[in-house]
């Protein structure tokens, strides 16, 4: 009886000690994970859209963002889907597209799929430019809204699909992607919105720097290798008077170079803009004939396969700094 009483007293002391420890917070139990992963598998069609989507989704647990076509492929106007690409599409729970006719190459494949995959058109709300025609840029008038169901090809007179080349337009795109992902994954809506807003504000800051250049430039005229960076220059308040290559994959003819030489001597643009993704042979030839300096800018149509989500912002900052050397005087 005495030993039983001693055991009960000892057990009681241990229980009191345990309760005292819990009450004082010394013992901490592991807390359950409150943010359940959403499990979204996002496939972005092109390199710049992949970067912008990754910047929005990188903080959301359980979201995986993959790139459809190779990062070095650039703008896929003539791209043909591979078997591996088809597997990526069929495994996706949502596709984020550039829009503006960029993904015509995959329309047939999407229609042939057995299951419906939500598709986010990142260009919704963008005020589009027309593609270069005969070396002149033609912007749509104010109030024009592009019909995203319309079939657009990147050819003479078509819509320019490279809105991503402008930090200002990219800011619009990331906010739209965040809203769209939030509709598919409501539990993560606040995380998407918070990440997108922080990123968009930084991109808009670059856009403001570019706009200040155009506002103060005495000579606003520029010549582009082709129209990939047209949105950047529109939003910077600079005027594109010609594009050297009317087709991205075909070098300009001798007659085209001669025509442009006459025009550059007459209009005297501030710079000729080349891109690291393409040969600058024609750019150097024009510069040698006219004395107009060459400036290389990267519109981020392509890039390294291991690029992190901050790559787009880093490149656009370098573009801005390079332009400031010519137009910031």
- What is the residue-wise DSSP string for 155-180? STTPBP--GGGSHHHHHHHHHHHHHH
Give residue-wise pLDDT tens across range 173-232. 999 999 999 999 999 999 999 999 999 999 999 999 999 999 999 999 999 998 999 999
Q: What is the mean pLDDT of the chain?
A: 82
Q: What is the DSSP letter of 191?
A: H
Quick check: 266 pLDDT over 90? yes
Element (H, E) at 20: helix 2-24
pLDDT band at 78 (very low <50, low <70, confident <90, very high): confident
Candidates 3.40.50.1980, 3.40.718.10, 3.40.50.720, 3.40.50.1820; correct CATH number of 218-327? Answer: 3.40.50.1980
Q: What SS3 class is residue 154?
A: coil
Residue % of the chain over a pLDDT of 70: 80
d(CA 48, CA 307): 10
When comparing pLDDT for 267 and 327, which is higher? 267
Report phi then psi at 40, rounded to 5. Answer: -75, 135
Q: What is the mean pLDDT of residues 128-150?
A: 47
Q: How far is CA 112 from the centre of its chain?
A: 27
Looking at residue 274, what is its pLDDT?
Answer: 95
Quick check: 169 pLDDT over 80? yes
When comparing pLDDT for 30 and 131, which is higher? 131
Give residue-wise pLDDT tens across range 9-48. 444 444 444 334 333 332 222 323 334 345 899 999 999 9
Where, residue-wise, is CATH 3.40.50.1980 in the chain? Answer: 41-140+150-207, 218-327
Candidates 1.10.1760.20, 3.40.50.1980, 3.40.720.10, 3.50.50.60; correct CATH number of 41-140+150-207? Answer: 3.40.50.1980
d(CA 162, CA 178): 20
| Nearest residue to 138 via CA among 160, 162, 165 | 160
């Amino acid at each position: 009886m005495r030993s039983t009483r001693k055991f009960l007293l000892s057990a009681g002391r241990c229980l009191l000690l345990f309760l005292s420890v819990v009450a004082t917070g010394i013992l901490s139990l592991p807390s359950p994970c409150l943010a359940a992963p959403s499990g979204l598998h996002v496939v972005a069609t092109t390199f710049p859209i992949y970067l912008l989507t990754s910047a929005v989704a990188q903080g959301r647990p359980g979201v995986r963002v993959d790139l459809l076509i190779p990062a070095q492929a650039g703008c896929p106007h003539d791209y043909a889907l591979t078997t591996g690409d088809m597997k990526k599409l069929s495994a996706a729970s949502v596709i984020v597209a550039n829009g503006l006719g960029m993904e015509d190459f995959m329309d047939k494949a999407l229609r042939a799929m057995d299951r419906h995959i939500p598709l986010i058109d990142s260009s919704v709300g963008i005020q589009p430019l027309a593609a270069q025609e005969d070396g002149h840029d033609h912007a749509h008038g104010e109030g024009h809204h592009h019909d995203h169901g319309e079939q657009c090809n990147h050819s003479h007179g078509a819509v320019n699909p490279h809105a991503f080349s402008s930090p200002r337009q990219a800011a619009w795109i990331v906010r739209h992607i965040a809203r769209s992902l939030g509709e598919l994954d409501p539990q993560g809506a606040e995380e998407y919105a918070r990440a997108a807003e922080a990123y968009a504000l930084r991109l808009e800051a670059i856009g403001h720097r570019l706009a200040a250049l155009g506002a103060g430039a005495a000579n606003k005229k520029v010549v582009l290798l082709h129209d990939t960076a047209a949105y950047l220059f529109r939003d910077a308040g600079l005027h594109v008077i010609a594009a050297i290559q009317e087709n991205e994959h075909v070098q300009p003819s001798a007659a085209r170079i001669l025509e442009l030489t006459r025009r550059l001597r007459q209009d005297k643009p501030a710079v000729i803009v080349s891109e690291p993704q393409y040969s600058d042979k024609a750019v150097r030839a024009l510069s040698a004939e006219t004395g107009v300096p060459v400036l290389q800018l990267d519109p981020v149509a392509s890039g390294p396969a291991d690029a992190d989500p901050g790559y787009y912002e880093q490149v656009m900052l370098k573009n801005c700094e390079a332009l400031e050397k010519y137009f910031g005087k």
